[in-house]
Amino acid sequence: EAERRAREALESFIAEAGDGAETMTIEASDPYQGILEGAKAQNANVIVIGRRGKRGLARMMVGDATAKVIGHADCAVLVVPRAARLWGKRILLATDGSPHSEAAAGVVGHLAKWGGLPVTVVSVVTSSHSLARRQEAEQAVSANVEKLRGLGVEAEGKVVEGRPDEAIVKVAEDVGADLIVMGSLGRTGLIKVLLGSVTERVIGQAVCPVLVVKP
């Protein structure tokens, strides 16, 4: 029954996509392994995976295929909630100034310029962060805003205080962003599966697609 439903969904997607889509069927012991094998075989630049209506702790369970794909994929992963639409309003770039955030900034520049979309750059600090950390956050935001503006992209920056995942989702909603872009650490083993997991929690709470970019 599950195989039948999956095939019907795939056939429906292909019909909508037209001639630009091709299919492949992979047998694997775990769905995430099949997805990764398919992406590698196709030299994919991005994996697009749907997210069911789960939120909060339900998204954090070890064994969740989406979490494993994000943790182990070599390419970017776009996670799309069930009711989400293709973005076309504003992109939110979440940054902490690290190398994986810089990789995300590069992708945002291309997406924003190609789509003619404005960008909001946000960095989150907590009440326990030192003044130096807050200054680093402000510098990271300013640097990314200037880089985007240099590409001809309309960009603004914000440094907000709060729990990182909640603050990122709230800012996205406040500014009307319909795509969130974040970086992902290239970790290995169990830590790679669990991530850190601001990224996972943002994915679990966001109502818009979240693009996770690898360094």
Q: How far apart are CA 162 and CA 51, in angstroms?
A: 25
pLDDT averaged over every residue in the chain? 81
Which pLDDT score is estimated for 189? 39
User: Structural domain tally of the chain?
Assistant: 2
In 3D, which of 176, 187, 180, 175 has the Cα closest to residue 215?
187
12 pLDDT tier (thresholds 50, 70, 90): low
- Asked if residues 102 and 183 have their Cβ atoms less than 8 Å apart, the reply is yes
Co-location of 49 and 95 in the same domain? no
Co-location of 59 and 154 in the same domain? no
Which pLDDT score is estimated for 192? 40
Q: Which of 80, 99, 124 is the last residue of a domain?
A: 80
| Residue 188 is assigned to a structural domain of this protein | yes
| Residue 74 is assigned to a structural domain of this protein | yes
In 3D, which of 33, 68, 43, 71 has the Cα closest to residue 184?
71
Structural domain containing residue 160: 91-213
| Residues shown for the chain | 215
Q: What is the CATH number of the domain that holds 68?
A: 3.40.50.620
Please classify residue 168 by burial: count the beta carbons closer than 10 Å to its beta carbon, then call 0-12 exposed, 13-18 middle and 19+ buried: buried
| Residue 95 is assigned to a structural domain of this protein | yes
- The amino acid at 85: R
- Does position 18 have pLDDT exceeding 90, yes or no? no
- The amino acid at 111: L
Co-location of 157 and 200 in the same domain? yes
Co-location of 52 and 114 in the same domain? no
Co-location of 110 and 17 in the same domain? no
| Residue 13 is assigned to a structural domain of this protein | yes
Co-location of 26 and 74 in the same domain? yes
Strands 46-51 and 76-81 come out as parallel
Mean pLDDT lowest among 13-22, 23-32, 52-61, 193-202: 52-61
Q: Which of 80, 105, 122 is the last residue of a domain?
A: 80
| Residue 86 is assigned to a structural domain of this protein | no
Which pLDDT score is estimated for 62? 32
Encode pLDDT of 81-115 as tens digits.
877 888 899 999 999 877 778 888 899 999 999 99
Q: Which of 57, 80, 103 is the last residue of a domain?
A: 80
Encode pLDDT of 154-203 as tens digits.
999 999 999 998 999 999 999 999 999 998 744 443 334 344 578 888 88
Co-location of 21 and 115 in the same domain? no
pTM for this entry: 0.82
DSSP 155-188: EEEEEEES-HHHHHHHHHHHHT-SEEEEE-----
Question: H helices of 50-115, where?
Answer: 65-72, 99-115
Beginning with the edge strand found earlier in the chain, give each strand of the sheet holding 46-51 in spatial order: 46-51, 76-81, 210-213, 179-183, 91-94, 119-125, 155-161
